[in-house]
Structure 1
Amino acid sequence: MTGEDLTSRRTWTRAAGDGWSPGLRQRTAPVALPPATHTSTPSRGGPTTAKENEVGYRIRAARWTERADAAEVIAEALHPSPLAEWLVPDDARRARVLAAVAAIWVEHAMFYGEVHLVDDWSAASVCLRRYGPLPPPADYAARLAEAAGPHTDRFAAVHDLLAAAQPDEAHHHLAYLAVRPPFQGTGRGQALMAQVHSRIDHLTMPCWTVTLAAGQRLLTRNGYQPANAITPADGLTLHQMHRPAHRDTTTTGAWPVRAPTADHQPGRAVERP
């Protein structure tokens, strides 16, 4: 899938399933991971307010009608990774399958977490609020089989490994941090991560994620610490990363909101009146 495909915001349809309905654990987790390989400039902002940073793009909460757009961003970012190649060896079908599976989790996060987009559809983040056990996505086994078709067993295997590895403590799960390849290195990934942290630090919550090796540098720079690795297959390693709870000292009882005025520098949090 090319950048031009996503600029036109084309909506992929789900891959035709083959009737598989594997048994899945009730402790659910997305199987695609943040390919955080870029460097970027931080930005902070409020829970639903659009946030415009110093280079002109905005970060905002995704609308319900944009869940397919967010899934396509994730699919394109993940497409060239070794994880995606293992999950869907068929290159011709990979983008469609990745987008269809990601769409399940984007929709789920709109009920049990949050989804944010850069407003030019160049990057997206997906978080799940795991304050306690979460139900699986609606009709998850059937939908995964429909989306992944003959590749369902590999998605289910990674799903089970991630579900078993999830921390027991209440935490935010950074399920996806995705930047389309043409926009990597432009600050979008770091800006999205700073936005996520501005919210969870207000709640003094830890954050957990899983990444490929290429994403460890960005996560480490943002306070994440390595945990046990996960190996779904020979030559494929996924790295757990955990960020301890940080206390947000920039606000006093109010969500931080953007105020890019002469009195407040971009990237600073201010209190809501």
Structure 2
Amino acid sequence: MAAIATLLTQSLADDPIAEWLVPDPTERRSVFQGVLAMEVDHAVDWGDVDVLLDMSGVAVWRRHPAEDAPVLSDHHLGTFTRGALPRFQQLSALLNGYRSDAPHHWLAWLYVARDRRGQGFGSALLARHHQVVDQLRLPADVVVTSENARDFLLFHGYVAGVPLRLPSGPRLWPLRRVNPRSARSDHVGRSQAGEPACGG
């Protein structure tokens, strides 16, 4: 799972939320390598992780509620975030305030490497798990960190909510997918999924 954490860490080089969380780029890489390794390991046991065969793309999903799943506490988070912990706590509080208590799946991360974009891989990763949530008759929620990611998900049947804003930080875009009939499949081959979803 370390390879997946590395892939996702690379995706955060210019991400506005990652920059807000950890302003120093060198420290940012170290912090997120640890945080993401922890999150991916947790999702492997208590959620779903879909990876392209060549490890160039990944989708990380969480299930809510995840009964019997251990809670990732501030102690766990503080192990990797060090001085950045207060901002990670602010992000977590914002996402928890938005997140529904009703059963749903949460898209924590969706990323396709830059040289693999535009070939439908982001769409394929989404479609794989959409089959799961559709069979369970559950919604899928996500919060993304860019307008490009928001527009990509809108095309795939998600509906945008009111933007969220961190204290003195950038905007976040919450989205929800409820009705599978609203999703279109003719965009495959032109996918630009490359902006990370926002973990939480």
Tell me if TM exceeds 0.5. yes
TM-score (norm 1): 0.61
What pairs with 1:25-174 in structure 2 (closer than 5 Å)?
67-131=1-65, 135-137=69-71, 140-174=73-107
Contact 1:109 1:128 in 2 (8 A): yes
Deviation, 1:235, is 5.1
* Structure 1 gap segments, 5+ residues each: 1-66, 248-273
SS in structure 1 of the partner of residue 54 of structure 2: coil
Deviation, 1:121, is 1.3
How big is each residue's C-alpha offset from its partner over 1:74-126, in whole Å with a ceiling of 9 and x where there is no partner?
11112211111111111112122112111221111122211111121111111
Deviation, 1:171, is 0.7
Out of 161, 166, 186, the residue aligned to residue 232 of structure 1 is 166
The 1-side partners of 2:69 and 2:96 are apart by: 12
Tell me the matched-pair count: 180
Alignment CA distance shift 1:185-1:99 (3 Å): farther
The 1-side partners of 2:2 and 2:150 are apart by: 27
Are 1:207 and 2:140 an aligned pair?
A: yes
**Residue type of the alignment partner of 1:121:** M
SS in structure 2 of the partner of residue 177 of structure 1: strand
Rg bigger for which structure?
1
Alignment CA distance shift 1:189-1:228 (3 Å): same
* Structure 2 gap segments, 5+ residues each: 182-200
The 1-side partners of 2:159 and 2:152 are apart by: 11
Contact 1:204 1:245 in 2 (8 A): no
Contact 1:123 1:189 in 2 (8 A): yes
Structure 1, 179-188 or 72-81: larger mean CA deviation:
179-188
**Structure 2 counterpart of 1:186:** 119
The 2-side partners of 1:152 and 1:235 are apart by: 15
Alpha carbon RMSD of aligned pairs, Å? Answer: 1.9
Q: Which structure has greater helix proportion? A: 2
Answer 1 or 2: higher relative contact order, Cα 8 Å, separation at least 6: 1
Deviation, 1:68, is 1.4
